[in-house]
Structure 1
């Protein structure tokens, strides 16, 4: 019978072959860059806008998303990730955009 020796386990973490230390990357969650924080400062989430606009009688979130999709909030909301952001002066218009459409503006320029 031969006695087999178990292979020696490699050390963990493996030794580095460089003389300089390894660089470690640390991620900070929840810290916004200056450009991102300025967007969030000037544009509240749509739920906060609805709370400010309607108070306790604010519409359900699904209704707000339908308004955004149908273009009934002007100026239009911007989507960042999963959240819609609107300007503080945004308004709800039940008939859609309160301004003329692009075709109407182009035709208005052509008229004498």
Structure 2
């Protein structure tokens, strides 16, 4: 099932920070990781991911560095301390939100 862009928009940044908090990755690698972990639900395009990464860099939630990999230079992204703090806030916010949605939909009932 395909998920609407509106639903994805609110959670994409948190998902990106989550994956990058586990290890540094370059953009295409991050796209593949999100796609694989989500069973194709989070199949981001480069035009969606890179503006998010650039905004996170501007906020100092991630930093980037160039590295050679497989004979190619790739830009790797790493979460900063500020990014970890932001991730904790966003994760807690998501838990509150998803719990409330589940309660309204009846999923929170025993």
Q: Per residue, is there more helix in 1 or in 2?
A: 2
Q: Which has the higher contact order (CA 8 A, sep 6+)?
A: 2
- State which structure, 1 or 2, has the greater radius of gyration over its C-alpha atoms: 1
Q: TM-score, normalised by structure 2?
A: 0.31
Q: TM-score, normalised by structure 1?
A: 0.30
Q: Per residue, is there more strand in 1 or in 2?
A: 2
